[in-house]
Amino acid sequence: MIFFDTFYNKIVNDVLKKNIKITKTKKDYILKDGFMKIKFNNLDLCNCILCGNFKTCDYNKCVHIYSILISYYNLSYRDIMFIWKNDNCNNVKNRKELSYKMDNCSICLENIKLENNNKNVFCSYCGTFYHLRCFNTLQKKHCLNCYNY
Radius of gyration of the chain measured on its C-alpha atoms: 16
Q: What was the pLDDT predicted at 116?
A: 67
Q: Where are the domains of the chain?
A: 10-77
pLDDT reported for residue 132: 92
Full-prediction pTM beyond 0.85?
no
CB 100 within 8 A of CB 78: yes
The 10s digit of each residue's pLDDT in 56-79 is 888 888 888 898 888 888 888 888
DSSP SS3 for 105: coil
